[in-house]
Structure 1
Amino acid sequence: MTVSSKAEQALRDAMERLLSGKPNRTDGALTKNNLWREAGVSRATMNRATSALAEWDSRVDESPTTALDRQRREELSEVRGKLRNSRQECRKLQDQVDAAATVIAALLAENAAFRDQLAKRSAVVIPLDRAHAIRE
């Protein structure tokens, strides 16, 4: 079963719009799903239009948009890797901050205990007898 020339032309027009980056009905991704939607035909009609599909496959493979998409995916992958590394570094630094906060809290408690101990001591200085202080 063949497709009508009208459907074939709709597919080719949709192909041109998608490849030029000016879609009317889709998000512009170069997929067969977007091709039949952009053309306003059924998926089955698109699948019967073998010559249009062959042209689609060859043009998508050599499309600069596809190369740009590939480059963007690679950049996105690289950025995601950097983000993952940054998050690991952030967790590591947060662990160090938490450990430092624990040490600081312990030192503050110890300091407070020493201050209490110092406050409870007698403030009166008792002089030692000079005779005991000098050894003969």
Structure 2
Amino acid sequence: MTTPTTADRVSEAAAKALRDAMERLLAGRPTCTDGRLIKENLYREAKVSRATMNRAHSILAEWDRRTAATDARTPGEARRDDELQQLKRELKQLKHERTELQHRLDGAVSVIAALHHDNTALRQELHTQTGTVVAIGPQRSG
């Protein structure tokens, strides 16, 4: 008994295995590979030989078309890359905020130093003054 074949010269079972493997890989749910969107993973995931995969021209054309649309990234890789871009944006914003706070801190340091200098000068002036202290008594009613 011969196995029915598709127009690609592969058996219906091999074509189904390749299509099922393609769907698992593209969905990010591999069962026996690392999930990268490469042809080696396609035939290994389908558990067929490379030669069998190479005879399935229409399936390979579909694979090429669908992986090109994903930039050959798995859904996990796409999520990772999106998260990385978000983290880079947040880091840039935090660096900007840190720089602004550093400028404000530097300004506060200058003001504090000036106030300290003035305070020291006033204390010295207070100690060098000689004079009579006059007590102010209760108010007279008059």
What TM-score results when the alignment is normalised by the length of structure 2?
0.50
Residue in 2 aligned with 1:92? 99
**Mean CA deviation greater in 18-27 or 75-84:** 75-84
CA positional deviation for 1:10: 3.8
The one-character-per-residue Cα deviations of 1:88-133 (angstroms, maximum 9, x if unpaired) are 522431331232233134124313422431342235239xxxxxxx
Change (3 A) 1:48 1:91: same
1:25 equivalenced with 2:49 (yes/no): no
Q: Name the amino acid aligned to 1:101.
A: A
1:48 equivalenced with 2:54 (yes/no): yes
- Structure 1 Cα separation of the partners of residues 115 and 85 of structure 2: 45
Q: How many residues align?
A: 119
Unaligned runs of 5+ in 1: 127-136
Aligned identity (percent) is 33
Unaligned runs of 5+ in 2: 1-8, 134-142
Q: Name the amino acid aligned to 2:54.
A: R
Residue in 2 aligned with 1:57? 64
Contact 1:18/1:28 (<8 A) preserved: yes
Larger helix share, 1 or 2 = 1
CA positional deviation for 1:41: 5.6
Change (3 A) 1:48 1:110: same
Change (3 A) 1:119 1:34: farther
RMSD of equivalent CA atoms: 4.5
Residue in 1 aligned with 2:136? none
Residue in 2 aligned with 1:129? none
Contact 2:10/2:52 (<8 A) preserved: no
Residue in 2 aligned with 1:125? 132
Q: Secondary structure at the match of 1:35?
A: helix
Change (3 A) 1:104 1:40: farther
Residue in 2 aligned with 1:111? 118
